Amino acid sequence: MSKVIKVLKLQDGIGRKGARRSRALVAGGAGFLGSHLCERLLADGYEVLALDNFHTGKRYNLNAILGNPAFRCIEHDIVDALPEDIPVDEIYNLACPASPPHYQADPIHTFKTSVLGSLNLLELARRHSAKIFQASTSEVYGDPLVHPQPESYLGNVNTHGPRSCYDEGKRSAETLFFDYSRTFGIDIRVARIFNTYGRRMQPDDGRVVSNFIVQALRGEDLTVYGSGMQTRSFCYVDDLIEGFIRLMRAPTPPPHPVNLGNPAEFTVMDLARLVVDYTNSRSRIVHRPLPIDDPRQRRPDISFARQYLDWEPTIDLSQGLARTVEYFDALLYGHRPVREAAVS
């Protein structure tokens, strides 16, 4: 059953100059990415309805916008039938746990969220002729045999491993989106998101950036899985949200998913050393066995996004880590000073 977190009717849709405001629905709107997207859409003049089951999203992520008369939030799981009376112009599907500890905690529900949730949102888009965005993932490439990964690469995914509930769920969601587009003519936009970090990640998120920062701030050992020579590409959240907006506002839908991520590549050991430095921590770096199906390398080829969307990240890892360390320091301990990170 849906539960309205903020009982507030959206405005009548009339903007200051008499034009009707566009209405956007953000599934997963209280999450790490979803809350940032809601803020951006409100700043751009949209009315925004957020849906979230609050399994991993946090109510306090929405504190800055709860007083906005153009915003409303409903507690709802998109696996269940959607509320009937929600006319929208744009839909953003960000509703799925994205970190391994969270999506592996209930793998069946994770898969249902990707598949049944996508079906429900696609049907809503069909009823209202709405444009719809799908947050897919670089995990569809699995442990890639092609590097960097272009959108044309079909991937190397284990279909029955502990990560497959997420990887295969997202791959299935992509299939549904493109089938709905071909069958019903729906305007779809699909983004494959590479590792993203920044404000509003949770201390128990389980992804490498948040793990390292929290461990360093607490003076604990930084846990590196495997040798640490596996690589990742880290995109700051503000850059990613800009990519979402440009993809949705492109004049025509791309014929395939679009990679969104930062092509700068770092080893996990590089990241661990940077975090220790930025936090002035005395934490040691310790090694643990590599989890099953953990990819050895990950880097997006963003040639298409550069050409088609005129988009590429502008915030480097030094800048982004400094901001993220400051956020976690305030979240965990209040506002004690954090050393300014040197730009490498």
Nearest to 262 by CA among 306, 227, 230: 306
Cβ neighbors of 304 (< 8 A, separation 6 or more) are: 150, 151, 254, 258, 259
- Find the helix or strand (DSSP H, E) in which 257 lies: none
Q: Which of 166, 180, 197, 236 is catalytic?
A: 166
Q: How many CB atoms lie within 10 A of CB 168?
A: 22
Give Cβ neighbours of residue 85 (< 8 Å, ≥ 6 apart). Answer: none
Cα–Cα distance for residue pair 31/59, rounded to 1 Å: 9
Alpha helices in 107-202 (DSSP H): 107-128, 164-184
User: Which is nearest to 136 in space by CA: 101, 105, 96?
Assistant: 96
Phi, psi of 154, deg, nearest 5: -85, -10
Q: Are 132 and 117 in contact (CB under 8 A)?
A: no
Residues 6 or more apart whose CB falls under 8 angstroms from that of 253 comprise 181, 187, 188, 189
Token representation of residue 144: 């890639």
Q: At what angle do helices 208-217 and 268-278 cross, to 10 degrees?
A: 30
Residue 236 annotated as catalytic: no
Exposure of 232 by Cβ count < 10 A (0-12 exposed, 13-18 middle, 19+ buried)?
buried
Rounded Cα gap, residues 227 and 225, in angstroms:
7
The CA angle 136-331-52, to the nearest 5 degrees, is: 40
Catalytic residues: 166
